[in-house]
Chains A and B, each alone.
Chain A
Amino acid sequence: MTENAPATMYRTDEGTGPWEHRGKVAAVGVGHSPTARRWDGRAETCVGAISLIALRRAIEDAGVDPAEIDGLVMDPVTTTGAYWPKGKPVPEEVTSAFNSTDNPLDGIAGLSAEWILKNMPELTGIDFTMYGPGCMSNAICVAAQAVGDGLANTCLVLKSWHNYEGRYYQGGANAGSDLPGTAALHALWGTPACYGTALQFAEYCRKYGKNHDMMAPFIENSRQNGLKFPEGYWASHRPEEITPEDYKAARWIAKPANLFDNDLPIMVSAAYLYTTAERARDMRQKPVYILNHAASNTRPRSLTPTLDEVEADTARTARKIYEGAGITAADLSFENMYDGFAQFHQFHIEGLGYRGMKFGEALDFYQTDISIHGPNPILPSGGNIGCGRSRFWMHTDCIQQIQQRAGERQVTGVKPEVAVSGGPMPLGGRFTVWSATPD
């Protein structure tokens, strides 16, 4: 059975110096599945099937013999809010299309490493599997550390998402009448998911004299970038911009967070191929070297982190990121921090001190040229707002930008040499520093 990565795999402390594997691990291959708004019930579109597509595309992209791959790191949970209805029969035509595990919903409502290996017979050399739970931001940190530590030499990293009919976050245990602990306050009797971030944003606006309308250029820019991401949902299915007028006219979900401050749950999978810097040199794509990975394990004092806690932690995270990578904020060519919800993106980049930014300055920064063609690109991936809910567009974009193959999305106002990406939330996130060179 595959286990979650132990705490020792993560770099959570300050003052530990440069990462011991700095520049010795690289990302090479990228593979994405097609996207869909919801699962249509067919075997070939279930979350397991799209995962196989993404993995095979990453292998092909890297130009690696599948038999040479010896590691697999992934997240077994494929949703945060779309649950298989209790009592609903598992579709036999789907399960019979694959080699199954003991869990009948494996490949449909979740995904184990065992399911993947049973359905990818070409992966004959895997002797290391591990879970990096939550999102790709976590899994790639685990993969980087695993390759650096020699637990795997050529390692696939996978994150997949399913989505069903019905409202997100409304099913599963949330539809019951009791939940243990503080989850009851959030999920049963509580608020929309964006409420905590909205609360922080409201305090941010009060503290710094800003307002919700100032987010409009960020949202517009994110969607424009996302529409240049052919693998993304919006570019593939509904090429709709979000103009400032659109944004300001949207309904509130949890004021001051509106509809377009939230992302759209989708079906999607992405995979990367990680390996040693030495091995990467012979692969099909240019290596993108990992300078560091860092993590936040900070727990808020109450149900929702306060703005003060958020700012303290993003600053602490930035110090860890820079120290381990041996860089400063001035070395960043661009940033790709998480945005789902849009209103915490500025917390991430203010903590980083991106382009000299201090707390309270991001919304003013958004009023300047933040496009991919300017000197200060903000979220060139478009993130979840630009591409749909996946929590991994920013990582794919960092790899593709540095490999100079981001297509229409390629940054032109800066030379893509060093970038940072990660998330999800400001407290509890996992972060990666990417580089065109190993030092």
Chain B
Amino acid sequence: MILISFDIDGTLTVGDPPGILPMDMVRAVKEQGCLVGSCSDRPISAQRAIWASHDIEVDFTVSKHMLPDVKAEFEADMYYHIGDREDLDRRPALEAGFEFLWPHEAVDMPWVDGPDA
């Protein structure tokens, strides 16, 4: 099982500023069977609204500092966080025991096309 946490602003195309990862990619990853959610500075209610407006049922929506809670709640073989900031994404992700990917690295991951998820 793979768990993937998405930052929103600067990472997803719906972000402010927009990132490069389309919601269709998230949807595809989810359909592969990955655990998917968002970890963002957006209010949690706003994160839920974004996912609902794109008809994507996610497994978690948490604030930026809550990756350790995600890891504690979900059993997975691999944990990834995808984001665009060194200080707010990469560093806390590594500290929480996640693998970290910049958005441009994420598009090259095998689980985007997904047979092994």
Q: What is the interface of chain A, defined by CB distance below 8 A to chain B?
A: 37-38, 237-238, 240-243, 245-247, 249-252, 259-260
Contacts and interface: CB of A to CB of B under 8 A. Distances in A.
Given A37-B16, A37-B17, A237-B16, A251 B43 contact: no
Contact of A246 (B17, B45, B65): B45
Interface residues of B, number: 14
Contacts of B13: none
B50 to A, nearest CB: 9
Given A240-B46, A242-B43, A259-B63, 19 more contacts: A38-B17, A238-B16, A240-B42, A240-B45, A241-B45, A241-B46, A243-B44, A245-B44, A245-B45, A246-B43, A246-B45, A249-B62, A249-B63, A249-B66, A250-B41, A250-B43, A251-B63, A251-B65, A252-B65
Contacts of A247: 43
Nearest to B87: A167
Contacts of B42: 240
Contacts of A259: 41, 63-64
B69 to A, nearest CB: 10
A264 to B, nearest CB: 10
Nearest to A246: B43
A240 B49 CA distance: 9
6 contacts: A240-B45, A241-B43, A242-B43, A242-B45, A250-B41, A259-B64
B63 A250 contact: yes
Nearest to B41: A259
Nearest to A241: B45
A243 B45 CA distance: 7
Contacts of B66: 249
Contacts of A243: 43-45
B107 to A, nearest CB: 23
Nearest to B61: A249
A243 B41 CA distance: 14
Contacts of A249: 44, 62-63, 66
A242 B66 CA distance: 18
Contacts of B64: 251, 259
A36 B66 CA distance: 29
A245 B46 CA distance: 11
A238 B41 CA distance: 13
A213 to B, nearest CB: 15
Give me the 7 closest cross-chain CB pairs, A-B, nearest first: A246-B43, A251-B65, A240-B46, A249-B63, A243-B45, A251-B64, A246-B44
Best-surrounded residue of A37, A241, A250 (most CB of chain B within 10 A): A250
Nearest to A37: B16
Contacts of A260: 43
Nearest to B64: A251
A389 to B, nearest CB: 15
Contacts of B65: 251-252
Contacts of B44: 243, 245-246, 249
Interface in B40-89: 41-46, 49, 62-66
A345 to B, nearest CB: 20
A192 B117 CA distance: 41
A240 B17 contact: no
Contacts of A237: 16
A251 B41 contact: yes
A409 to B, nearest CB: 21
A242 B47 CA distance: 11
Nearest to A240: B46
A253 to B, nearest CB: 11
Interface string B1-23: 00000000000000011000000
A256 to B, nearest CB: 15
Contacts of A240: 42-43, 45-46, 49
Contacts of B63: 249-251, 259
A251 to B, nearest CB: 4
A12 to B, nearest CB: 39
A251 B43 CA distance: 11
A206 B88 CA distance: 30
A243 B61 CA distance: 14
B38 to A, nearest CB: 13
